[in-house]
Amino acid sequence: MKLLLPLFSAALLAASAMPSHAGDRYADRPPVMVSPDLSAPWVLQLGHAPGIVRQNRQALQQPRQRYAQPAQPDRVQTAGVQAPAKRMVARPQINPVYLPQEVDYDGGQKPGTIVIDTTQNFLYLVEKNGKARRYGVGTGKPGFEWSGTHKITNKREWPDWRPPAEMIKREAAKGRYLPTYLAGGMENPLGARALYLGTTEYRIHGTNQPWTIGGAVSSGCIRMRNEDVVDLYERVNVGTTVEVI
C-alpha cells in the first residue's frame, strides 16, 4: 500500500495538468473530485484505468456548477444513531442564474416568440402580460457569432448528427477527428432535442456538455441543458419565430 500511494498521487497530478479551454467545444471535462478514502483499492478510485479519473453515466447527467464546490460527506444521523459513513462525493450544480425562471420582459415581441441574447447567453420564450420564460444557453464562440430571424422548420427527438465538411476539416487541423455520422443518444453533442432554424445549419439543441452553458462555446448553434431543451421543445411548434440578437 505504501508503494501504491505515490503512484496514485502522481496519476492525479498528471490528470490535473491536462489543458482545458472553456471556449472549446471538445474541451476536457472539468476535473473530478476523488474520494479521500484511500482505504479503497486505488485502481477502483481511478475508474479501472490508472491515470484516468472517470465518471459514470449517471454523474454525467447531473447539472454542473460553473465554479468549484467542495465535496460534502454523505453522512446521516437520525435519533442519535449515525449511519455508516459513505465516501466523500462532489455535488456540482449549475449557476442558478442559468436555470429556467419566469422574468419580466419588455422586448416588444409577441407571445410565443423565442429571443436569444448572445451577449448575456439567455434564451427568452416570450409570454403574455410582460413576462418571459428564461433559460441559460451556450452560444457561438468568437468568430462564430451571428444574428438574424428565422422560423423553426423542424423538431427532432434525440437527433443524429452529421458534422458539416467544413467543421470536420477545421477540427482535423487541430488533431481532432470527427465522425461523418453519429446516431442520437447520450454521447451525441446535439443532446436530447433539436429545433432547426430556417434553412441554416444552426439549431437550438441539447448538449452532452452541460457545464458549458452560459459561455461562448459553440460553432454557432444554441445549446441548452437537456432538461431545458426538452421543456422548450414541448412549449413551441414548427413555425415559431426565433430572433437571435
204, 186 Cβ separation under 8 angstroms = no
Helices (H) and strands (E) in the chain, counts: 5, 15
- Cell 483499492 identifies what position? 41
Q: Which residue in 141, 131, 115 sits closest to 25, CA to CA?
A: 141
Amino acid at 156: R
Nearest to 119 by CA among 99, 146, 95: 146
Least Cα distance to 218 among 227, 230, 209 occurs for 209
Spell out the alpha helix ranges (H) of the chain.
Answer: 4-16, 42-45, 57-60, 165-172, 226-235
> For residues 232 and 113, what is the distance between their CA atoms, to the nearest angstrom?
12
Active site residue 221: yes
| Phi and psi angles of residue 226, each rounded to the nearest 5 degrees, phi first | -55, -45
Of 204, 61, 67, 196, nearest to 140 by C-alpha is 204
Has 205 been annotated as catalytic? yes
- DSSP for 231-243 reads HHHHH--TT-EEE
Name the active-site residue from 21, 48, 150, 205.
Answer: 205
The distance from CA 95 to its chain's CA centroid, rounded to whole angstroms, is 12
Which residues are known to be catalytic? Answer: 205, 221
